[in-house]
Chains A and B, each alone.
Chain A
């Protein structure tokens, strides 16, 4: 009996947490969308949703690590663009395509290392560094391609980007899920993950406890650079063409997904489960709204409202509760005073 109540109280505890809140929202979105479009919840449609935004979602995983760590990487979309542009440029110049991909990945690594160096070793602010590099890497991407658009990549590259690889799953989706599982293990079930949280909570305490803060940060930035480059290549493969403005302006979308997932912008708390749920919510809201013929701007605004509301409403509710309690206490003390 007691086991059963504790089970229910456990479920209730979970539901009261951020993830529970997200699940409720997601269910609501599902129901509303299903009313509009009957075959909405089909597996095919859900997979399709993921595929249309898969690159941002992949980068959101590494962004989660960085934000929990108390840092940020605004330059990720520019690295995506740069990696794709370098590949296209080399391919156009006659380099073997496999080599071009390898070079693009190492450029992603180099970009991440560069960010990490200034942030972790020199100690500059990550917002500043990655904002400067948002401009700079994008500029480099434009230097390679100027205002050309390059397409006609090898058939196998386009195939990997556009066709299903295993069953109904294309390569990008498989990569995403493998990466997500790996990331969950690293962040929530490994020593390294604990270090990420500790540094995000209090960098100084982490340093005094013997955590090598710069090393953790550099590893995270390198991972972010590598994953961004990979996502950029996947986007190039999916679109079949590369231009200098590939992945332009993705940064706010990616950060929104992570923050809606309950990750604190000040670092130190959050979970990948929450981020995954928030990704589902964002994708389904966008899809539902576009089914109802709303433009991309409205979709972004609705997600903005949700983002603000998700923090505002619990705050206001908390405030109201505190005020009510105080009034009740004052009332009680007045009663006792009257009795005396």
Chain B
């Protein structure tokens, strides 16, 4: 028991618990739906989770600093449309340049958010509600609502979602999924091991203390929004390649989807706690539920949203109760260990003396 307590923190058990929940959902629907869990389903899931998962990674960075980014839905829409527009009019643009262009567009919009929040000291919820409307309005007005269709795009981007890096039988490891895995790993690594990552946690847990300790708080918050914007730009590129047909209303509602994923993944909206892997698991759980409820014949398709909301609530409530219990166990055990160590110490000292 003590070994377990020393080895893991409640937050890590939260992630194991999410994996367990995902497992439960798969088992439940495997019993309910015939031929539910097969390689093709995994392939489909691995493509559909990508956009929200990447957004959730960016949202996690912002959440860690005790802020919100509600504008990601519009950033995805603007980048998807404008990268599509560039590819339509300049089909010779190489794929890497298109990706960088998307990230650049995203970072541009993210930096506006970051400037306003970090240096203008406008609360993030106000800033991003505002920019959500402003970016969307810019898109609608500047494009005269001409949609982008698959026919206008170069072949490579339309085929991208089905490109797989390697496959085991029917099971494929697709390129888009690979991008997402890379993003999750890189950012989890950054949060765990780089000074910048640790500072995100420091600022979120106690902004005043972080400032007094001399962290460049404004710059770090700015960077969080910049990265969130860049990731939203990347998500916009993937959105474009997945759907191909982009109207000016593309990506509406993704801001709530990303927040739902992050929150189910256990990232605290009071800042300072949560992981990128957790956010990814949250996105995966929600996507799995959406895809599964869609195939469940017992209920009509109209029940999907009603059940989805309840399940998100259930996931968060169970998590709250379980993690709360675990924290008290941990705290008690930690106290016990400490007192044991203190009881040990005088004996050692007396030996020496």
Contact A122 B122 (CB under 8 A): no
As a 0/1 sequence over residues 231 to 260 of chain A, the CB contacts with chain B under 8 angstroms (1 = contact) are: 000000000000000000000100110010
Contacts of B303 in A (CB 8 A): 139, 143
Residues of chain A contacted by B305 (CB below 8 angstroms): 135-136, 138-139, 142
A138 to B127, CA, bound (A): 27
Whether A308 and B116, one on each chain, are in contact in the complex, defined by CB atoms closer than 8 angstroms, is yes
CB distance from B141 to the nearest CB of A (A): 6
> Which of under 10, 10 to 19, 20 to 34, or 35 or more describes the interface residues of B?
35 or more
Question: Shortest distance in angstroms between B125's beta carbon and chain A's nearest beta carbon?
Answer: 5
By a CB distance below 8 angstroms, the chain A residues around B256 are 131, 134-135
Considering the chains assembled together, what is the distance between the CA atoms of A264 and B332 in angstroms?
Answer: 38
Would you list which residues of chain B between 38 and 67 have a CB under 8 Å from chain A? none
Q: Given that A140-B306, A315-B121 are known contacts, is A304 also in contact with B130, CB under 8 Å in the complex?
A: yes
Question: Using Cβ atoms and an 8 Å threshold, which residues of chain A touch B136?
Answer: 297, 300-301
Q: Is the interface of B mostly helix, strand, loop or mixed?
A: helix
Contact assessment for B140 and A295 in the assembled complex, using a CB-CB cutoff below 8 Å: yes
Chain A: minimal CB distance from B247 (Å): 13
What separation, in Å, do the CA atoms of A252 and B125 have in the docked complex? 11
**Is B322 interfacial (CB 8 A cutoff)?**
no
Assembly CA distance A304 to B74 (angstroms):
13
Is B134 touching A312 in the complex (CB atoms < 8 A)?
no
| Complex Cα–Cα for A129 and B263 (A) | 10
Interface: B226 (CB within 8 A): no
Option from B120, B140, B309 in Cβ contact (under 8 Å) with A316: B120
User: Quick one: which of B116, B122, B123, B309 contacts A135, CB cutoff 8 A?
Assistant: B309
**Nearest residue, chain B, Cβ from A75:** B309
1/0 contact string of B300-324 vs chain A (CB within 8 Å): 1011111111101100110011000
Q: With the chains together, A140 CA to B138 CA distance in Å? A: 34
The answer on a CB contact under 8 Å between A304 and B129 is yes
- Chain B's closest residue to A318 (CB) is B121
Chain A, interface size category, equals: 35 or more
Q: Judge whether A304 and B134 touch: CB under 8 Å.
A: yes
Chain B hits for A303, CB < 8 A:
133
Query: Is B285 among interface residues, defined by CB-CB distance under 8 A?
Result: no
Of the candidates A128, A138, A146, A265, which one forms a contact with B263 in the assembled complex, judged by CB atoms under 8 Å apart?
A128
- B231 within 8 Å of A by Cβ? no
Chain A residues near B263 (CB-CB < 8 A) = 125, 127-128, 131
B269 within 8 A of A: yes
Interface string of A104-139 (1 = CB under 8 A from B): 000000000000001000111101110111111111
Is the C-beta of B111 less than 8 angstroms from some C-beta in chain A?
no
User: Is residue A307 contacting chain B, with contact meaning CB distance below 8 A?
Assistant: yes
Q: Chain A interface mostly helix, strand, loop or mixed?
A: helix
For B171, the chain A residues whose CB sits under 8 A away are none
**Complex Cα gap A155–B269 (Å):** 48
Q: Is the CB of B120 within 8 A of A312?
A: yes
Bound-state Cα–Cα, A124 to B132, Å? 26
Tell me the nearest residue of chain A to B305, going by C-beta. Answer: A139
CB-based contact A139/B137 at 8 Å: no
Q: Are B129 and A122 in contact (CB under 8 A)?
A: no
Kindly provide the distance from the CB of B20 to the nearest chain A CB, expressed in whole angstroms: 20
Residue pair B122, A311 in contact (C-beta under 8 Å):
yes
The answer to whether B260 has its CB under 8 Å from any CB of chain A is yes
Distance, CA A300 to CA B306, complexed state (A): 29
Q: Nearest Cβ distance between residue A110 and chain B, in whole angstroms?
A: 14
User: Is B316 a contact of A124 with CB atoms below 8 Å?
Assistant: yes
Chain B 110-123 against A: per-residue CB contact (8 Å), 1 yes, 0 no? 00000010001111
A31 within 8 A of B: no
A305 part of interface (Cβ distance < 8 Å): yes
The residues of B that contact A265 with a CB separation of less than 8 Å are 123, 125-126
Known contacts A124-B320, A265-B123; A255/B129 CB under 8 A: yes
Is residue A266 within 8 Å, beta carbon to beta carbon, of the partner chain? yes
Is residue B131 within 8 Å, beta carbon to beta carbon, of the partner chain?
yes
Q: Mark A76-117, 1 if CB is under 8 A from B, else 0.
A: 000000000000000000000000000000000000000000
Q: How far is the CB of A253 from chain B (nearest CB, A)?
A: 10
Whether the Cβ atoms of B302 and A123 lie closer than 8 Å is: no
Q: Shortest distance in angstroms between B348's beta carbon and chain A's nearest beta carbon?
A: 41
Q: How far is the CB of A74 from chain B (nearest CB, A)?
A: 8
List B contacts of A298 (CB < 8 A).
137, 141
Which residues of the other chain, A, contact B300 by a CB distance below 8 angstroms? 143, 146
Report whether B313 and A136 are in contact in the complex, using a CB–CB cutoff of 8 Å.
Answer: yes
Query: How many angstroms from the CA of A133 to the CA of B313 in the assembled complex?
Result: 8
Q: How far is the CB of A164 from chain B (nearest CB, A)?
A: 33
- Contacting residues, chain A, for B129 (C-beta < 8 A): 252, 255-256, 259, 304, 307
Kindly state the separation between the CA atoms of A178 and B122 in the bound complex, as whole angstroms: 34
Contacting residues, chain A, for B307 (C-beta < 8 A): 136, 139
A139 CA to B301 CA, complexed, in Å: 10
Q: Which residue of B lies closest to A260 (CB)?
A: B126
Checking B120, B126, B269, B309 against A139 with a beta-carbon cut-off of 8 angstroms, the contacting residue is: B309
Segment 181-212 of A: residues with Cβ below 8 Å from B: none
**A142-B302 in contact given A134-B256, A256-B129, A265-B125 (Cβ < 8 Å):** yes
Pick the most buried of A135, A146, A265, A300: most chain B CB atoms within 10 A of its CB: A135
B-binding residues in A (CB < 8 A):
118, 122-125, 127-129, 131-140, 142-143, 146, 252, 255-256, 259, 265-266, 295, 297-298, 300-301, 303-305, 307-308, 311-312, 315-316
Besides the known contacts A122-B320, A122-B321, A266-B123, 5 further A-B residue pairs in the complex with CB atoms under 8 A apart: A132-B312, A134-B256, A134-B309, A305-B134, A307-B126
12 pairs of residues in contact across A and B, judged by CB atoms under 8 Å: A122-B320, A124-B317, A128-B313, A137-B309, A139-B305, A140-B306, A142-B302, A143-B306, A297-B140, A297-B141, A307-B126, A315-B121
